[in-house]
Amino acid sequence: MKIEMEKIVSLCKRRGFIFQNSEIYGGLGNTWDYGPLGVGLKKNVKEAWWKNVVYEREDMEGLDSAILMHPNTWLASGHVESFTDLLVDCKKCKKRFREDDLDKHICPECGGELTDPRQFNLMFKTFVGPVENEASTVYLRPETAQGIFINFFNILTSMRRKIPFGIAQIGKAFRNEITPGNFVFRTREFEQMEIEYFVKPGTDKEWHDYWVNERLEWYKKYGIKQENLRLREHGKDEMAHYAKSCFDIEYLFPMGWSELEGIANRTDFDLKQHTNYSNRNLIYFDEETKEKYFPYVIEPSAGVDRSSLAFLIDAYKEEEVRGRKRVFLSFHPDIAPVKVAVLPLLRNRGDIVELSKKIKKDILNQYVTVYDDTGSIGRLYRRQDEIGTPYCITVDVQSLEDRAVTIRERDSMQQDRISIDQISQYLKDKFSLLH
Ligand code: GAP
């Protein structure tokens, strides 16, 4: 089924996943706010990633470095010089374009004459302290990676690590993108999940292949369909200034195949550069072999927003049920922002409401559970389907007598009548089957 981006944008607004930022002021272009369900989705994506790449491994440490760093970081990394796009301006309508987006050297909007291309740095600048001058200039980080490189030695020594090992970090990054768009796919403020994995030179190719495979499997494990994922190797002309080789994991977004995650071999570029620009020698000494070397780095770099968008698109389903369209998100249970909803059949019956709230409270210890009585049962199911809640528990008049409830599964809509004291075991069995 081909899914248009408008459908996803509309569902995200309708159901509280993602809102236009500054909407009451007319909106700030290509800037988005994550609402109650969006926060849950993003949090789950980050947790699934962290669990997989940090907690479940023996060779990884976590980090949360500051967004602002010493400005020399960006001189060393090459971003001041090379993190640029070639831009042209229209002399007539004054609009600005990326040169590589244009087929012909005329303005695509008004046909006007264009200026010669000029380099435009994508980093946002700001100032520390009250004086705005060159000496106080700092940048909002355009990647979280550099926070990892400048902490390489701190982590190596404090955690008594040996090569190979990795450092993982999740955090905001900022780029003054010229052509943002496609909802949260390309924005100026976004979140990255990055790993810098340090290896012995000569073993880098093998580790690169390993990480490409690991990361592909992660997306599949959490529900992205195999046919919507592909690998693409970068050509020499499109590689970042630090990379020796790079693979993109691409997803079939509504606008076509586009990058979901990049996995680059950054060689020893960054550690050598920081050694040259700082007063620290970041060379590694291998105690066993007595060798000294700058480790090579394999970098799987994913976007939280892009992954969340891919999970939303891949989960989006429409079907006809008794002549009516049903929309639901078939999220993997770990990705679903809400796991269980408890719904009273009659909201004006105090005894049913009380029992429903008690059931919700009991389940809440194990699963994110909501109680909802804001509409008829049909409407309540529709809402839970559209936010991708795997199980709905309905409490009815009979529940007061037989101490049983109806549990409805999201994708099949199959309903089971379960004794209240069996709910916990029932959900445990069902969720473990879905993993
Ligand atoms: N440290 C390497 C690096 O930053 P990148 O390919 O420029 O590499 C990695 O970015 C990932 O970050 C991308 O695959 C994408 O998921 C996400 N990303 C990059 N720019 C983005 C933007 N403007 N908006 C949303 N996500 C972005």
Q: Cα separation of 156 and 165, whole Å?
A: 9
Q: Cα separation of 120 and 101, whole Å?
A: 15
What is the gyration radius of the CA atoms in the chain, in angstroms?
Answer: 25
Q: Which residue has the tokens 């550690």?
A: 271
Helix H or strand E segment including 37: helix 36-50
Q: Which residue has the tokens 């990633």?
A: 49
The Å distance, Cα 302 to ligand 1 centre, comes to 7
The Å distance, Cα 303 to ligand 1 centre, comes to 6
The Å distance, Cα 192 to ligand 1 centre, comes to 7
Q: Cα separation of 306 and 300, whole Å?
A: 14
Residue 135: the pLDDT is 83
For 184, the 3-state DSSP assignment is: coil
C-alpha distances out from residue 295 to 168, 211, 265, 301, Å? 16, 16, 11, 18
Atom of ligand 1 nearest to the CA of 175: 23
Residue 52: the pLDDT is 98
Nearest to 106 by CA among 95, 90, 87, 119: 90
Encode the chain (435 residues) as per-residue pLDDT tens digits.
789 999 999 999 999 999 999 999 999 999 999 999 999 999 999 999 999 999 999 999 999 999 999 999 999 999 999 999 899 999 999 998 888 888 888 999 999 999 999 999 999 999 999 888 888 899 999 999 999 999 999 999 999 999 999 999 999 999 999 889 999 999 999 999 999 999 999 999 999 999 999 999 999 999 999 999 999 999 988 888 889 999 999 999 999 999 999 999 999 999 999 999 998 999 999 999 999 999 999 999 999 999 999 999 999 999 999 999 999 999 999 999 999 999 999 999 999 999 999 999 999 999 999 999 999 999 999 999 999 999 999 999 999 999 999 999 999 999 999 999 999 999 999 999 877
Q: Which residue has the tokens 């089957």?
A: 433
Residue 396: the pLDDT is 97
Atom of ligand 1 nearest to the CA of 186: 24
Question: 306, 307, 308, 311: which to mutate for ligand 1, most atoms within 8 A of CB?
Answer: 306
Nearest-CA residue for atom 12 of ligand 1: 303
Cis before 201 (ω within 30): no
Ligand 1 pocket, residue 61 CB under 6 Å? no
Atom of ligand 1 nearest to the CA of 144: 1
Nearest-CA residue for atom 6 of ligand 1: 262
DSSP track, 285-326? E-TTT--EEPPEEEEEEEEHHHHHHHHHHHHEEEEEETTEEE
Backbone angles phi, psi at 116, to 5 degrees: -70, 150
Residue 70: the pLDDT is 96
Atom of ligand 1 nearest to the CA of 303: 16
CB 172 within 8 A of CB 147: no
The Å distance, Cα 306 to ligand 1 centre, comes to 9
Cβ atoms < 10 Å from Cβ of 54:
19
The Å distance, Cα 315 to ligand 1 centre, comes to 22
Q: Cα separation of 391 and 426, whole Å?
A: 11
Cβ atoms < 10 Å from Cβ of 213:
12
